[in-house]
Structure 1
Amino acid sequence: MQNFSDDTHVQNEDDLALQTYFKTGISPDDVSAVFPLRRGQPVLQAFTALFHGGFNGVLLRLLVLRELTADVDSPSLSRADINTKLGYLEPEALETVLARLRSTGLLNWDASQSVYRIAPTARNVLSAIESLLQVEENNDQAEMSYMLTQVAGAQAVGGVSVEQLHHLLGRLIELTEEFSDAIASGSEFQLRAAQQKWHTACDWVEKGSQIIHAITHDERADAATHKAAQAIGRAQSALLNMQGMFSRALNQIERQRVHLGQSGLSTTDIKTWLLQKDDLAALADEALAQPVTPLFITPSEMIDVAESELLSHRVSAIAGALPVGENAISVANDDSDALHELDHWLNLLHKTDAKEKPVALQDILLPANFAIASYRASMLPLLGDANESALQGATGTLARLPLIFNSKDKMQKLHDPHIAAMSIANLSFVERSETASESTSTLAPNRETP
């Protein structure tokens, strides 16, 4: 009865101490987020027992506990076994650690058999720590493996929580923002590092897609769990769609890269070489034979020099003779294959009878190889174009045809040696006063033919 009263007194003191951190009139029991933390007090106290104090003390306690739990042949350990296993430690230090583990309930002393037994809480805490150490050892740049492992394990035993899903969702959103900042920076080095980290994150996303799919189709999960899993799916899609953004940013940097003459060296190569140097100032040692001597001039001298330069340029421009005229380079008539193909296609369109029934797109573009069919498809938006119809030439004739192009956002497969699929579309008859659609068609080449 005395022990129970002491525990109650300590509990009341803890409640009063916690109350001091909250505003007046607000009790810790009124905050819903406090309850799960209080419920997990035994586990949190186990972590406190291990990690309270300096790093060396924490390391020693973890070392002793890991060594004791490593012996799985026997569920109990005598003091002689412990002394033998940890013989490399000072007896006083070992006794201090054992006393702390006993007082915090991580290590139980069985007086009837004079042996020590590892508490289940200690094994759970060590298991969590081992998972974190394993993640650090594997160098997971995306830092997603631990959270995904926890979600996968909880899903396997049917106990995944909304908080675990929120942690994973938060990490996905953080990675997306981090990659967006790297793309917006315009720095090639940041882009390369972010792209490598993105590849690591995508590997974990592919592994976690099946887990998220299982959660969304689990009838036992509540609405909050389903909502969190769907949000993770959307975040994963946003993360995977960043590949195009990385490619465009790197291509833009590649176009802007400056090369030094014919040496083959670029500014990126020089920056990479400079980043490898520990002391950039040392590169200038003995590089200059004499110190730089600055020269100063007054504004009046600057005006005199500028005026003389301006007048000399004007005199040379007036005195100079006009250049000798040259004959303009004659340009041959453009008899390209494209124009011949357009004339041939116009003859086919003139013969098309679309008044009774719309003509399918494949009947207009085919038979032809992929290049010719693509060229014909690119001309279809000109049908009914008011600006183009006012011009002369083959394209103007095409624009004035009484045809309209109708397209759907769907594809259909074709039995053609060159075209594997094509948009579902047709050409129909229309009065010249109407305007044709601005839609475009899509072709997919047949990869099976050379």
Structure 2
Amino acid sequence: MHADTLSEFFLPGFEARDLGPLAGLLRAKPYLDALITLFRGGEDEVLVRLLMLREIGARADAPRWSPQELDSHFGYINPIKRDTVLKRLRDNGLLVWDSDNALYSLSEPGRVALSAIATLTQFADGDAELGYLTAQVAAGQAVGNIAPEALQHLLARLNELHGDFENALESQSEFQIRSARAKLESVWRWVEKGTEVMRGVLADDETDHAVHQVAQAIALAQGRMLRMAGVFQRRLAELAAQRVHLGQSGLTSTNVADWLRGRSQEQLAALGRDLLTFHPEPAFVVSDILLDVAEFELIERERADETASALPTSELAASVSAVEAERLLLAEELYGFLKGIDTTAPLARAVLSDTYPETAYRLSLLSLLGDAEAALEHSIVADLVKLPLALVTEDAIDELDHPNVATLTRGHLKPLGKVK
């Protein structure tokens, strides 16, 4: 785009190069031109250009190509189309022709564009957005040049995810909460990686003040995300306790709802056929509200493409009274031990038991110490989390001489009045 054409987009008196946001784009124009060359045109043309450019750039041991080598390597492409793509890449500066040696090679903008595309395609699976943004920030931190814009994008994505998770919790819908928990598990490793990167950024005394402020906000957002896992688990446990069991069949209302959600509209209509002797006329429904709800359900609501929802076989519900009684005894035993702590005590002394399940259960209870939400319950667990103790862990693992527990996170318990 020429300067005189670009000026037509602005009001008289405004110079394009004087606008800060646009000035940065103009400085990167050679690289943007490379991307424009690659992505202008039809989808099929773009894919073939990317295919050929990636193949040319992938030969690191011999980065220069002769025309004969290109013809041989891309023998599976129509010769006319192949020559057209090569000419476009050469005419727009992505390929450089060395007339003295009669060889092709990638130009600097072409190599940069190809590298950016390689990074993008690397995150095609899973949560591509969060993974890509975290990778960009990590790369900038590794070379000591973090772009504030990349940090802003990462912060915005974390806030969006946290808002989605909070909406799922507020919905009180088991299906939405389960979906949100699955989403959290899919992005978990990127949140942990981002936490490591932010720790390095905040520890660097030479970090720019603006970058430091955004990094602090990202660290807080990541902390909220990490706490979501426990919140999801407790909320699902509460909803599980409210499930309605259908007689002695072993089925619950959730099983039936899962099965129904997997049926098509025709199948649901067939299930309800001949069950109603009259057509319901809900006169109490306001038409505009009904229209809004229908529009959301039919157009805006996102549904999973495929969900395994086979109806379980009929069987007697398993008795859990023995398990609940055992857990109650373990919680009471741990409460009695913790109540007597008045000095620093090692973590192993508090959690190690005869078996691995008992040890794991004790450790899960200790992780709830100080949890305000769990303290609202009326149970031995609530009494336990109200104890004036703090769990302090370290980034180290202790190897144990135990028949069932091989390793344990290094840590200790401190009375709250003595925690510094």
The TM-score with structure 2 as length reference comes to 0.65
Distance in 2, Cα, partners of 1:203 & 1:286:
43
Check 1:372–1:176 CA distance in 2 against 1; reply closer, same or farther (3 A cut).
closer
Partner of 2:90: 102
Q: 1:246 to 1:372 in 2, by over 3 A?
A: closer
Percent identity for Structure 1 against Structure 2: 38
What is the match of residue 91 of structure 1? 79
1:56 counterpart = 2:44: yes
2:162/2:225 contact within 8 Å kept: yes
The equivalent position to 1:413 in structure 2, one of 344, 359, 365, is 344
| Equivalent-residue separation in structure 1 for 2:187 and 2:271 (angstroms) | 47
Alignment partner of 1:233 is 2:219:
yes
The Cα shift of 1:292 comes to: 5.8
CA distance in 2, matches of 1:59, 1:231: 39
> 1:145-160 residue pairs with structure 2 within 5 A?
145-160=131-146
Whether contact under 8 Å (2:337, 2:350) holds in the other structure is: no
Q: Which amino acid aligns with 1:65?
A: L
In 2: Cα distance, 1:221 partner to 1:373 partner: 43
State how many pairs are aligned: 309
Write out aligned runs for 1:310-325 (5 A): none
Are 1:370 and 1:419, in contact at CA under 8 Å, matched by a contact in 2?
no
SS in 1 for 2:104: strand
Give runs of aligned pairs for residues 235-384 of structure 1, distance below 5 A: 235-277=221-263, 279-282=264-267, 285=270, 293-294=277-278, 371=336
In structure 2, relative to structure 1, the CA distance for the partners of 1:411 and 1:42 (3 Å cut) is farther
SS in 1 for 2:105: strand
Q: CA deviation at 1:149?
A: 1.4
SS in 2 for 1:76: coil
Higher mean displacement: 36-45 or 238-247: 238-247
RMSD: 3.5
Amino acid corresponding to residue 344 of structure 2 in structure 1: K
Which residue pairs with 2:120 in the alignment? 132
- State the alpha-carbon separation in 1 of the partners of residues 350 and 199 from structure 2: 36
Seen in structure 2, the aligned counterparts of structure 1 residues 182 and 74 have a Cα distance that, compared at 3 Å, is same
User: Which residue pairs with 1:358 in the alignment?
Assistant: none
Higher mean C-alpha deviation, range 151-160 or range 96-105: 151-160
Q: Which residue of 2 aligns with 1:26?
A: 14
Per-residue deviation, 1:194:
0.9
Alpha-carbon offset, residue 106 of structure 1:
0.3
TM-superposed deviation, 1:441:
5.5
2:334–2:350 Cα contact (<8 Å) kept: yes
**Structure 1: gaps (5+ residues):** 1-10, 296-367, 378-409, 424-439
Give, in angstroms, the shift of residue 414 of structure 1: 6.4
Question: How far apart are the structure 2 equivalents of 1:71 and 1:369?
Answer: 62
In structure 2, the residue corresponding to 1:109 is in which secondary structure? strand
Whether the 8 Å contact between 1:142 and 1:197 is mirrored in structure 2 is: no
Deviations 1:409-439 (A, max 9, x none): x974369xx9899x9xxxxxxxxxxxxxxxx
Q: Distance in 2 between matches of 1:162 and 1:201?
A: 22
CA distance 1:23–1:250, shift in 2 (3 Å): farther
Distance 1:241 1:106 in 2: 47
The CA deviation at 1:198 is 1.2
Residue 56 of structure 1 aligns with an amino acid whose one-letter code is: D
State the partner residue of 1:395.
Answer: none
Change (3 A) 1:117 1:255: same
Question: Whole-Å Cα distance in 2 between the matches of residues 191 and 286 of structure 1?
Answer: 28
Q: In the alignment, which residue of structure 2 is the partner of 1:215? A: 201
User: What per-residue deviation string (whole Å, max 9, x for no partner) do you get for residues 65-106 of structure 1?
Assistant: 112112223231111000000011111101110111011100
The one-letter code sitting in structure 2 at the alignment partner of 1:246 is F
1:201 alignment counterpart: 187
Q: How many Å separate the matches in 1 of 2:187 and 2:19?
A: 35
**What's the TM-score, normalizing by structure 1?**
0.61
Cα distance between partner residues in 1 of 2:73 and 2:57:
11
Determine the structure 2 residue equivalent to 1:65.
53
Q: Within 5 Å, which residues of 2 pair with 1:378-417?
A: 412-413=343-344
Secondary structure in 2 matching 1:108: strand
| CA pair 294-276 structure 1, distance change in 2 beyond 3 A | closer
Does the CA contact (< 8 Å) of 2:141 and 2:201 recur in 1? yes
User: Does the 8 A contact of 1:212 with 1:229 survive in 2?
Assistant: yes
